Amino acid sequence: MRGVKVVIVGSGRIGSRLAAQLAAEKHDVTLIDRNPNAFVQAQNRGVIPPDFPGRLLVGDGTDTDVLRRAGLENAQWFAALTEGDNRNIMSAQIAKVVFRVPTVVCRIADPIREQAYRKIGLQVFCPTILGVQVVKSMLGDEEE
């Protein structure tokens, strides 16, 4: 696939690794985090390389001005991957409704919320549910 504009909110383990992989695949990546030290931590962990070709933007992923600075109005992909479900839901809705980003993905840690937000049209994933499925599969229990 030809490089696309991607905006990721949250530079934790998932967000920083995704940003690094997509940038290595020649996508135009902007990674946003409220905490400037989060980028340093990702670089210290060796996830974000020192020569990261994407943009690192300090700011709140629920702030439309920050999202504009990230170029969200031209993005094809958006991922809300912070540790906070409320922030992820809010930024994903802003990306989908206000900026009309074609593909929006949202991390939801709470399994109960995952279904509720899927029902309102958000593309969500729940690490808790996925983790249980993986462990069950590794244990040999393929049933759901």
Would the pTM of this model clear 0.95, i.e. be above it?
A: no
pLDDT of amino acid 1: 55
pLDDT tens, residue by residue, 43-87 = 999 999 989 999 999 999 999 999 999 999 999 999 999 999 999
Superfamily of domain 5-139, CATH level 4: NAD(P)-binding Rossmann-like Domain (3.40.50.720)
User: 72 or 129: whose pLDDT is higher?
Assistant: 72
pLDDT tens, residue by residue, 7-27 = 999 999 999 999 999 999 999
Rounded distance between C-alpha atoms, residue 57 and residue 61, angstroms: 10
* CA neighbor of 40 nearest in space, from 28, 52, 29: 52
pLDDT of amino acid 115: 80
